Amino acid sequence: MTFPSEPAAAAPRRPTAEGAPHPIRVVASVIARTVLGSMIGLLVWAHVPVLALGWTAGVVQSGSMRPALVPGDVVLYQPPRDRTPAVGQIVLAQDPTRPGHLLTHRVHRVLPNNDLITKGDANPAPDSTPIRPTALQGVARLRVPWIGLPAQLWRARRTVPEAIVLLGLAILLAFAALPLRSRSPHK
């Protein structure tokens, strides 16, 4: 007696919960939520001293203070006290060479009349024009890395990098919105 051949057995399948999301989807969502949570934490960290202590926040616009500060960093400045900042401290002051602009540089030297000679860490020479004590806006106390990058790109009118940052943010939001649990079908 001959038996008809039986169909080949399908490869065994791992048992999965019905409606469970794919592991890659879960990992992508968790990573996106972690990155967004970190960004929100940095934003809060950058605003608390401004709101609670009256500090000033500024976005670094140029590379003159590299490697200590890079474009896109947010620096928080404590209002100046009655004393002169020490050599080596980073200060925010009205730029004596460009009225209406601010300057973030390190104190290089204090003159006998308390005027400040500043220097950007990446610049080869100190600034040529001293800063009067009355032009001082604050002393740097806290650096929040990269969180001001969108604002820095916007001010510099660099549309392609800005679009890339915004696209990346949109992708993070999309991945963060992925559900980690599937809805069970109604019967």
**Which range in 18-27, 65-74, 145-154 is most confidently predicted, on average pLDDT?**
65-74
Please indicate whether residue 15 or residue 106 has the higher confidence score (pLDDT): 106
User: Of 12-26, 38-52, 137-151, where does mean pLDDT reach its minimum?
Assistant: 12-26
- Report how far residue 110's alpha carbon sits from residue 165's, in angstroms, rounded to the nearest whole number: 41
Q: Please indicate, yes or no, whether the overall pTM of this predicted structure exceeds 0.85.
A: no
Domain ranges of the chain: 23-176
User: Of 1-15, 60-74, 104-118, 131-145, where does mean pLDDT reach its minimum?
Assistant: 1-15
Question: Closest by alpha carbon to 91, among 67, 109, 112?
Answer: 109
Q: What is the pLDDT of residues 54-111, one digit of tens each?
A: 999 999 999 999 999 999 999 999 999 888 999 999 999 999 999 999 999 999 999 9
Strand partners for 57: 76
- Record the tokens describing residue 28, joined without a space: 């992508």
CATH of range 23-176; options 2.10.109.10, 2.40.10.10, 1.10.630.10, 3.40.50.300: 2.10.109.10
* Cα-based angle 28, 31, 33 (whole degrees, multiple of 5): 105
Q: In this predicted structure, what is the pLDDT of residue 14?
A: 53
Mean pLDDT, all residues of the chain: 88
* Burial class (CB within 10 angstroms; exposed 0-12, middle 13-18, buried 19+) of 90: buried
pLDDT at 15 > cutoff 50: no
